[in-house]
Copies of this chain bind each other. A is one copy, B any other.
Amino acid sequence: MIWINGAETDCLPATDRGLLYGDGVWETIGVRQGRAQLLEWHLERLQTGLQALRIPQPDWHGFQQEILTFCQGQERSVLKVIVTRGAGQRGYNPVTGLPPTRILQLSPWPEYPPDYAGQGVRLALCQARLARQPLLAGFKHLNRLEQVLARAEFGNDYQEGLMCDYAGNVVEGVMSNLFIINAAGEFCTPDLGQCGVAGIMRRFIIHVLEKYGIRCHICTLELKDIEQAQALFMTNSLIGIWPVREFSGKHYGIPSLIRKLQMDVKALS
């Protein structure tokens, strides 16, 4: 099911700047029992992205209502929300006054084998690196060729790939964020000031850890920090938490605190 600007249609004008330049932002949201999970945080990130791109904000109250109506009766689905700068005249110049395009899409829930969350996943090291571009870092825009290239590198032997930037820092998974428990037992997740997407599930994990009185360090991580870590896990809104059981020939355990966090994610639904 697809709605564009509130109407059921699969038809986007080919002059939409979302297509022409990737001039927009998006969210992937889990839907359970008709409820879009962590919707407020997702809408906050959309707003941050639109501000960064100076795209006019939609009427948020009306948009939220539209999303609630759209998700009604959905047992378990994936909601994709896209907001673009709209269909416009030729050229990069973002003419003001264009009404933004709102796109809502529902897809079936991806049925990942329970092993991924249970026993952990194998993590590939992607050769494709992320460019450092602070102007586009943190929010979730439609310029995602780096992720497409990185994802194409590994097949079914791996469930996710780890991406570094050109400075040699570890940044994130192709479709997820990375957390580590380092040699000293501290939680760390990469700083995303230069590149990467600040995931909503990442925010949730940091928030839950805080509630437990555990500080999650947001810092610069290199591959050697990953090698020396006690445990790794990947997060996003659909997979929740996937512990990493193997990366680069090294095997990792799954401490009980990761299990506890997985329960917290489960309790969201």
Q: Show the binding face of A for B, using Cβ within 8 Å.
A: 2, 4, 10-23, 26, 53-54, 78, 80, 82, 84-85, 90-94, 103, 105, 107, 110, 128-129, 131-133, 135-136, 141-152, 166, 174-175
Contact = CB atoms under 8 A, between A and B. Distances in A.
A136 B128 CA distance: 11
A216 B82 CA distance: 44
A129 B107 CA distance: 37
Nearest to A78: B90
Contacts of A80: 90
A26 B21 CA distance: 10
A145 B133 CA distance: 11
A53 B132 contact: no
Given A19-B142, A22-B145, A151 B13 contact: no
4 closest A-B pairs by CB: A131-B133, A131-B131, A22-B22, A143-B143
Nearest to A174: B92
A151 B14 contact: no
B144 A20 contact: yes
A85 to B, nearest CB: 8
Given A13-B10, A91-B175, A92-B151, A136 B144 contact: no
Contacts of A133: 131, 146, 166
B175 A149 contact: no
A140 B269 CA distance: 43
A10 B14 contact: yes
A141 B16 CA distance: 16
B21 A147 contact: yes
Contact of A144 (B22, B147, B174): B22
A14 B15 contact: no
A89 B135 CA distance: 29
Contact of A93 (B53, B107, B151): B151
A148 B92 contact: yes
A23 B105 contact: no
B12 A13 contact: yes
A90 B110 contact: yes
Contact of A175 (B10, B92, B105): B92
A253 B34 CA distance: 66
A234 to B, nearest CB: 14
Contact of A21 (B14, B23, B129, B148): B148
B141 A145 contact: yes
B110 A21 contact: no
A113 to B, nearest CB: 16
A85 B148 CA distance: 11
